[in-house]
């Protein structure tokens, strides 16, 4: 990373856009305190990532690139385990599990092994895990990558509902149509540098382009500095 700098407004969907290898996942891992930066400063929800990593982890939900789910567990077993890690009591966990399974349309699969699930269903379980403890901020790394049309639509609807409920959501994505549909603000990153960030309208004015895909190509080609 090369002295990347940006801010995310509260209660919006912010899209982190960039080519493969640009540094999107590394950025999300640092902000979620999984990776420790070698220099620089960053705050998440007002907490310094080096000084208050545990406080940050209590307040965020993370969907990593690899969901890391255990195939031999059921959704209920998975969520009970993670609920306990967050210090939730069993009655709170079980009530929340019922709520989330209904939200994701997985009530009938509550006691099935995750190893039997499709990729889209696994992604939904990973999202339930991320929001189980009602975090204020979500970091979602390529949340719809490789999903079928219906599963991707369900995930996009979920993201939009989270923002409408007052959550702040940061997503990385290669899907420009998806970013244009979901995001109020975006940051375009390339080779570890933030090329430009702001509202889509801001970037339209900067590049004189009309679609996010054209804005992205324009910025990545280096035709606009800043």
Classify strands 193-199 and 185-190 as parallel, antiparallel or unpaired: antiparallel
Label residue 21 exposed, middle or buried (CB < 10 Å: 0-12, 13-18, 19+).
Answer: exposed
What does DSSP assign to residue 114? G
Contact 143, 123 (CB under 8 A): yes
Delimit the domains of the chain by residue range.
13-69+136-220
Label residue 146 exposed, middle or buried (CB < 10 Å: 0-12, 13-18, 19+).
Answer: exposed
Contact 13, 169 (CB under 8 A): yes
Contact 210, 180 (CB under 8 A): no
pLDDT (0 to 100) of residue 223:
46
For 76, the token pair is: 């209920």
pLDDT (0 to 100) of residue 1:
62
Cα-Cα-Cα-Cα dihedral sign, residues 29, 187, 168, 122: negative
Contact 178, 216 (CB under 8 A): no
Label residue 189 exposed, middle or buried (CB < 10 Å: 0-12, 13-18, 19+).
Answer: buried
Per-residue pLDDT of the chain (226 residues; tens, 9 = 90+): 667 889 999 999 999 999 988 999 999 999 999 999 988 899 999 999 999 999 999 999 999 999 999 999 999 999 999 999 999 999 999 999 999 999 999 999 999 999 999 999 999 999 999 999 999 999 999 999 999 999 999 999 999 999 999 999 999 998 999 999 999 999 999 988 999 999 999 999 999 999 999 999 999 987 444 4
Contact 15, 173 (CB under 8 A): yes
> Over the stretch 167-223, which tens digit does the pLDDT of each residue have?
999 999 989 999 999 999 999 999 889 999 999 999 999 999 999 999 999 999 874
pLDDT (0 to 100) of residue 224:
46
Q: How many CB atoms lie within 10 A of CB 85?
A: 11
pLDDT (0 to 100) of residue 225:
44
Q: Where are the alpha helices (DSSP H) in the chain?
A: 24-31, 53-59, 75-85, 90-104, 119-131, 149-164, 176-182, 200-207, 212-220
13-69+136-220: CATH homologous superfamily? P-loop containing nucleotide triphosphate hydrolases (3.40.50.300)
């Amino acid at each position: 990373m090369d002295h990347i700098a940006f801010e995310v407004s509260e209660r919006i969907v912010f899209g982190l856009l960039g080519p493969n290898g640009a540094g999107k996942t590394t950025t999300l891992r640092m902000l979620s305190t999984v990776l420790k930066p070698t220099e620089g400063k960053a705050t998440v929800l007002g907490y310094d990532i080096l000084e208050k990593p545990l406080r940050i982890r209590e307040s965020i939900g993370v969907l990593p690139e690899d969901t890391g789910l255990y195939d031999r567990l059921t959704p209920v077993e998975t969520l009970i385990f993670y609920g306990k890690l967050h210090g939730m009591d069993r009655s709170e966990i079980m009530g929340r599990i019922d709520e989330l399974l209904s939200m994701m349309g997985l009530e009938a699969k509550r006691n099935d092994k995750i190893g039997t699930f499709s990729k889209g269903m696994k992604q939904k379980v990973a999202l339930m895990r991320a929001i189980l403890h009602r975090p204020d901020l979500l970091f979602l790394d390529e949340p719809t990558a490789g999903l079928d049309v219906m599963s991707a639509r369900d995930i996009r609807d979920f993201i939009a509902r989270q923002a409408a409920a007052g959550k702040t959501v940061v997503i990385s994505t290669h899907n420009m149509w998806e970013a244009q549909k979901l995001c109020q603000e975006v940051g375009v990153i390339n080779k570890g540098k933030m090329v430009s960030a702001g509202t889509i309208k801001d970037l339209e004015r900067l590049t004189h382009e009309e679609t996010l895909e054209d804005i992205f190509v324009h910025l990545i080609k280096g035709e606009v500095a800043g």
